Structure 1
Amino acid sequence: MTNFLSADLIGYFAACLTTTAFIPQAWLTWRRKRAEGVSLGMYIILVSGVVMWLIYGLMLSALPIIIANMVTLMLAMFILVMKLVYK
């Protein structure tokens, strides 16, 4: 039980760090109304990968993976949409 609890805590902490990493980019792009420094190809690949991670988390019923990838998907999609809108 202790290993499971430790693994979950590490998972939640990792999820928080990797997910919040997208917030500065989303904020900057929205605030400046420009996305020229954002790679369209990278975000298309990233969103595709995050969708796969979300499906994987759902298949395993792994809450840290599900939560992290749901939030990451929203942030990455937000940045991707802004990239397309601010072309």
Structure 2
Amino acid sequence: MDLKLVIGISAGILTALAVVPQVVKTIRTKKAAHVSPFMFLVLLAGNGLWCYYGFLISDLPIIITNAFSFSMDILMLILKYVYRDRD
């Protein structure tokens, strides 16, 4: 496997997993007052564009990691909405 590919996949995985602790904390505490919806909207837009870019250049690692990140951003925004009255 090419070293550039390994670095790219590793970077994508680490970036995609960065939001998971926030999602887990929000689910466990059932509180989302500490969550900035604007930040997740910006991340959602960025990850959506990265995913689209991945499709444009037919790069599966970019598509997969950013599609996962995109779904985590959506989940975090949903959690922010669901737990809005508990904060």
TM-score normalised to structure 1 length? 0.90
The answer for the alignment partner of 1:31 in structure 2 is 28
Q: Runs (4+) of structure 1 moved beyond 2 Å? A: none
The answer for the alignment partner of 1:73 in structure 2 is 70
The residue type equivalent to 2:43 in the other structure is: L
Q: Distance in 1 between matches of 2:3 and 2:25?
A: 35
What is the number of residues matched between the two proteins? Answer: 84
Deviation string, structure 1 residues 22-45 (Cα, Å, up to 9, x no partner) = 110010001111111110111111
Identity of aligned residues (%): 37
TM-score normalised to structure 2 length? 0.90
Deviation at 1:62, TM superposition (A): 0.9
Structure 2, unpaired ranges of 5+? none
Q: Distance in 1 between matches of 2:24 and 2:3?
A: 32
Q: Distance in 1 between matches of 2:55 and 2:25?
A: 31
Q: Distance in 1 between matches of 2:5 and 2:60?
A: 9
Q: Distance in 2 between matches of 1:52 and 1:25?
A: 22
Structure 1, unpaired ranges of 5+? none
Q: Distance in 1 between matches of 2:13 and 2:21?
A: 14
Q: Distance in 1 between matches of 2:40 and 2:18?
A: 14
- Secondary structure at the counterpart of residue 74 of structure 1: helix
**Please, what is the CA RMSD of the aligned residues?**
1.1
